[in-house]
Amino acid sequence: MERIVMKFGGTSVANEERIERAASLILKEVEQGKQVAVVVSAMGKTTDQLLALAGEIHPNATSRELDMLLTTGEQVTASLLAMAITAKGIEARSFTGWQAGIQTDSIHSKARIEEVKAGKVIATLNKGGVAVITGFQGVDGTGEITTLGRGGSDTSAVAVAIAIEAARCDIYTDVEGVFTTDPRMIKNASKLIEISYDEMLELANLGAGVLHPRAIEFAKNHQMPLRVRPAHIEGMGTVIKEEVEMESNLIVRGVAFEEDIVRITIMYDTPYNGSLANIFTALAGEQVNVDIIVQTIMEGEQPSVSFSIKNEDFAKTMNVLEVNKAELGYKRADFEVGLAKVSIVGSGMVSNPGVAANMFDALRLASIPIKMVSTSEIKVSVVIPTTHMEEAVAVLHNTFALEQIS
């Protein structure tokens, strides 16, 4: 009998009504002869509310105690959803992370799953029951309750799917699936039927929300097919798997974008002397995420290096540069704010060398200035002024005929 995992995020279980709806979706799968394990997040804003409560009591509570506090959120959802399923005449049992055998390392608030001992879950499935498992949490080797950090519930779902040898893992969410770009911005954005793990990873890392990169990587490593699908309406969503049917005209499958980018440029008056690595080591030491790095060493000119960061890391970055100026040995540091990153993503690019050129051409024709460029095998990103972001997305969506994907 085929097993599947169904994962419901916080908005999909935010109140009684949505919990009922989730139960109906589960019922439908059971009626189709599936064995169903469910993974749930905390209801709606529960986690934020618990964090606020903790903040009032101790602004710097230990991550161990925060884990003890926050894990109650999923436990509430799991038991309520189990009740809702039982009310529809199907046996259901809820399981906390430790009961479901989700074993993690001991790093509170960002634990990694080491193993899922799914014996109890499988026993429930084999008896025809639905197992409802708390996402986001596990237990370490000494019986301490841990949480998995951001994207934790998606990761839990994938881990459970792998452990019970599920045919696939359905991630229910409040969007219809994965789109060629954000449909709230570009009206004719199309929903993708399929997308590869790597493409999805790029889109996820570029801020296209929906699924956490960590869960995608995990699924990719175990070749577990994922499906992102809507909980609030009917819809088959988007399947994420290794190999994707690829028509010749679908070289680019999505346009991602991200605001609040800052470009920092550092100029030296002497030739490059190894201090480049020092800069990024110093920034990494302060948890600054550096994205695009562009280095120019031109004969006869002063060497310089540019890199992009998120706005939120701006002050920290300038401080690191200031404090380490002598050691880093640069002459001058410049910055430019008000930038955005726009990227095209598609597995087909690797065998179609003209794609980047098409992108630059299209942006040039629209008089959109390009500040930085970065390319990978399945992605080309440009940094441009934020004022041009929406236009750039529309132009690229059009250029690569993404409204025709269906």
**Interface with its own copies by CB under 8 A: which residues?**
16, 19-20, 50, 53-54, 56-58, 61-62, 64-66, 68-69, 71-72, 75-76, 78-80, 82-84, 86-87, 93-94, 96, 98-99, 120, 143-145
Structure tokens at 180: 């060629």
CB of 49 to its own copies, least distance (A): 11
Q: Least separation, in Å, of the C-beta of 107 and its own copies? A: 17
Q: Which is nearer to its own copies, 144 or 194 (CB)?
A: 144
Q: Least distance to its own copies from the beta carbon of 120, Å?
A: 8
In the complex with its own copies, which residue's Cβ is closer, 4 or 100? Answer: 100
Query: Least distance in Å: CB of 16 to its own copies?
Result: 5
CB of 72 to its own copies, least distance (A): 4
Structure tokens belonging to residue 330: 């640069």
Q: How far is the CB of 206 from its own copies (least distance, A)?
A: 36
Q: Token pair of 267, please?
A: 């100029």
3-state class (DSSP) for residue 283? helix
Which H, E and C letters describe 202-264, residue by residue? HHHHCCCCCCCHHHHHHHHHCCCCEEEEECCCCCCCEEEECCCCCCCCCCCCEEEEEEEEEEE
Contact by Cβ (8 Å): 111, 138:
yes
Q: Nearer Cβ to its own copies, position 163 or 266?
A: 163
Write down the least CB distance from residue 73 to its own copies, Å: 8
Distance between CA atoms of residues 347 and 354, nearest Å: 14
Of 260, 251, 279, nearest in space to 353 by CA: 251
State the nearest-atom distance from the C-beta of 74 to its own copies, in Å.
9
Backbone phi and psi for residue 40, each to the nearest 5 degrees, phi listed first? -125, 150
Closer to its own copies by CB, 78 or 160: give it.
78
**Residue (42 or 392) nearer to its own copies, CB:** 42
Q: Which of 47, 156, 50 is nearest to 98 (CA)?
A: 156
Q: Are 148 and 138 in contact (CB under 8 A)?
A: yes
Smallest distance, Å, CB 89 to its own copies?
Answer: 11
* Half-sphere exposure of residue 339: CA atoms within 13 angstroms, side-chain side: 24
Q: In this complex, which beta carbon is closest to its own copies, that of residue 93 or of residue 241?
A: 93
Nearer to its own copies, 67 or 199 (CB): 67
For its own copies, give the closer residue by CB, 30 or 215: 30
The span from the CA of 198 to the CA of 229, in Å, is 19
Residue 146 or 324: the one with the smaller Cβ distance to its own copies is 146
Long-range CB pairs of 26-35 (<8 Å, 24+ gap) are 26/85, 26/90, 26/130, 27/85, 27/88, 27/90, 29/4, 30/90, 30/130, 33/1, 33/2, 34/1, 34/2, 34/3, 34/4, 35/1, 35/2, 35/3, 35/4, 35/125, 35/126
